[in-house]
Amino acid sequence: MRVAVLGAGAMGCLYGAALHRGGADIVLVDVNAEHIAAINARGLELERRSGTERLPIPAVRPEELEGPLDLVLVFTKTFMTDTALAGIAHAIGPATHLLTLQNGLGNEARLAAHVDAARVLIGISSLPSDLVGPGRVRSHGEGGTKLYSAFPSGDPAFAEQVAALLTQGELAASADPAIYEAVWSKAIFNATMNPLCALTLRTPGFLGAHEESLAMIRAAVDEGIAAAHANGVMVDGQAIHDLTRVSITDHADHEASMLQDVKAGRRTEVDAINGAIVEAARGKGVATPLLEIFWRFVKLEEAKLAGE
């Protein structure tokens, strides 16, 4: 399988490495010239709890990507999806599938604007990963991947093939027909933990050490559960609460993507995460005051960083 990872940040590199180990023909696609140069010069350096490895995976700019591809794994920021896919349109053929493991809700609709809906897959990752320097990624912590066809017209067999490649490449993955429950569960988790990390400029371990944050975590998750249920997605609420506890313990020092963005003065994905949940809840007459406060405060932080 010939696969391009579109957005070779921390998560993109982690998954590119797994697909490489699994036997796929991988190319990393990014616009960070220093990162691309480091990967091509020394290989992708990936530090895991089991040790550090260097993988000979090529990295290119979008215009350098050659097609056709069997799969594009989309790991760009949600607000860059359309621009990024347009930049590699020349490499997307009539049989190319697109898989999003991006944060938030609504990603499948963005991908379906670029290929037939039958070739769109959606999924979630519960793995931590940090970009520690050009060509260098660290992932300390356990987790997994779920994915499936985003629309009823899709082919589950292709999702199973991708999941098998990831599992063979040492990232446990499964093809899960209940994928939207997983997507909503991850979005609720992110809408709770990411803004709190970004607004306090602290990692999950700090949040777990204070009752003030623990109380907000419990309440925000409950709001998200109510929003999902109102929209007909019957998430397992206890599993989401359990995941927040894993975050503050096993992933205590992990810098959430929203925290990394705020520290770097970049736009966050809060609209696709908190904003999407709040709006979906509002459409069903469900109040999510804490998740909305998180959303609005992060937007204020973005405005402050942008000098507006």
CATH number of 2-177: 3.40.50.720
Q: In whole angstroms, what is the distance from residue 303 CA to residue 41 CA?
A: 38
pLDDT at residue 68 tops 70:
yes
What pLDDT does 130 receive? Answer: 84
CB 61 within 8 A of CB 29: yes
Q: How many helices (H) and strands (E) does the chain have?
A: 13, 12
Q: Whole-model pTM?
A: 0.92
Options 3.30.1330.60, 3.40.109.10, 3.40.50.300, 1.10.1040.10; CATH for 180-305 is 1.10.1040.10
Q: Is residue 28 over pLDDT 90?
A: yes
Instruction: Name the least confident of 4-18, 88-102, 108-122, 294-308.
Output: 294-308
Which stretches does DSSP call E strand in 140-228? 145-149, 173-175
Cα–Cα distance, 304 to 182 (Å, whole number)? 33
DSSP string, 50-102: TEEEEE---EE-GGG--S--SEEEE-S-GGGHHHHHHHTGGG--TT-EEEE--
Least confident piece of the model among 112-116, 143-147, 274-278? 143-147
How far is Cα 39 from Cα 145, in angstroms, rounded to an integer?
25
Say which amino acid occupies 121.
L
d(CA 92, CA 70): 8
pLDDT digits (tens, 9 = 90+) for 207-252: 999 999 999 999 999 999 999 999 999 999 999 999 999 999 988 9
Q: What is the model's pLDDT at position 308? A: 65
* SS3 of residue 7 by DSSP: coil
The overall average pLDDT reported for the chain is 96
- Domain spans of the chain? 2-177, 180-305
Q: Nearest CA to 26 among 41, 12, 37?
A: 12
Residue 140 backbone dihedrals phi, psi, to 5 degrees: -115, 110
